[in-house]
Amino acid sequence: MFRNSEAGEYRGYKSEKFVFEDRNCTVVFPDKELEEKKWIWRAEFLGAFDTVDCDMLSKGYALAYISVSDMYGDPDSVETMKKFHGFMTERGFCEKTVIFGFSRGGLYACNFALKYPGAVAALYLDAPVLDIKSWPGGMGKGAGAEREFEECLSLYGLDKKTVLGFKQNPADRLEELLSLAIPVALVAGDSDRVVPYEENGALLESVYKKGGGDLLCIVKPGCDHHPHSLSDPAPVSAFLCARY
């Protein structure tokens, strides 16, 4: 279940790489760990556009990652994530974490939070995919990704017809997410051609603002899907640290 541990380095911080549940994992340790052993969790794309990750490492938060790539936040990936969460808490880390959902990582982050809200202190969603019809499906304004869509449909037990009636996307469950009182930091570009904001993040923004949810929303004018995050991580880090 846990094997092949080896010491490593991430942005100047000590890290541990290992295999858990046949998945590659990484835990990065801050120079001075918080007493409560708080941690943040990259759902996907460890190391990409990681200004907020690094800022929170500098504040004493550990950073963790388990590779559930190419599973699109499906139920099996969520259960693997739950096992990894149990592994982390058994090692003394805090019961709650902040999940970073970048791009397709939004599916993982939201689906995990909806299934296991007690494990989630907050979400940081960055240009998040919230509807598989939008991406990889390309059934709206986005171009989509055919190979990834076929892969995604297979994992969910759907096809191009039945997906039209699928109501378990995060985008379909935003009222439920709101009711769980999970704070969300949302960052996205308003000109995203890969994961169109109006089909994804804007839906969450609308529900949270209408329902009085705890939301930080930063929409970058003229920004496409990349670059993710912010050159100055302070607004997002401050929001997350104040809630965790």
Domain at 2-243, CATH class:
alpha beta
The pair of structure tokens assigned to 188 is 């996205």
- Domain segments of the chain: what residues? 2-243
- Residue 126: the pLDDT is 98
- Residue 3: the pLDDT is 73
CB-count exposure of residue 76 (10 Å: 0-12, 13-18, 19+):
exposed
What is the per-residue burial (b if ≥16 Cβ within 10 Å, else e) of 22-38? ebebbbbbbeeeeeeeb
- pLDDT 10s digits, 129-181: 999 999 999 999 998 999 999 999 999 999 999 999 999 999 999 999 999 99
For the cut 70, the answer to whether the pLDDT of residue 204 exceeds it is: yes
For the cut 60, the answer to whether the pLDDT of residue 202 exceeds it is: yes
- Residue 111: the pLDDT is 98
Residue among 239, 237, 180, 177 nearest 204 (CA): 177
Residue 39 CA to residue 48 CA, distance in Å, equals 18
Residue among 179, 187, 172 nearest 221 (CA): 187
Which positions ≥6 away from 201 have C-beta within 8 Å? 125, 127, 128, 130, 186, 188, 219
Mean per-residue pLDDT for 198-220?
Answer: 98
- pLDDT 10s digits, 82-114: 999 999 999 999 999 999 999 999 999 999 999
Strand order in the sheet with 215-220: 2-10, 13-20, 23-28, 62-66, 39-42, 97-102, 120-126, 184-189, 215-220
- Residue 1: the pLDDT is 53
- Residue 12: the pLDDT is 97
Residue 168 CA to residue 136 CA, distance in Å, equals 15
**For the chain, first and last CA: distance in Å?**
29
For the cut 80, the answer to whether the pLDDT of residue 69 exceeds it is: yes
- pLDDT 10s digits, 8-67: 999 999 999 999 999 999 999 999 999 999 999 999 999 999 999 999 999 999 999 999
pTM assigned to the model: 0.96
- Residue 4: the pLDDT is 77
- Report residue 2's pLDDT band, with 50, 70 and 90 as the boundaries: low
DSSP reduced 3-state for 26? strand
- Residue 5: the pLDDT is 85
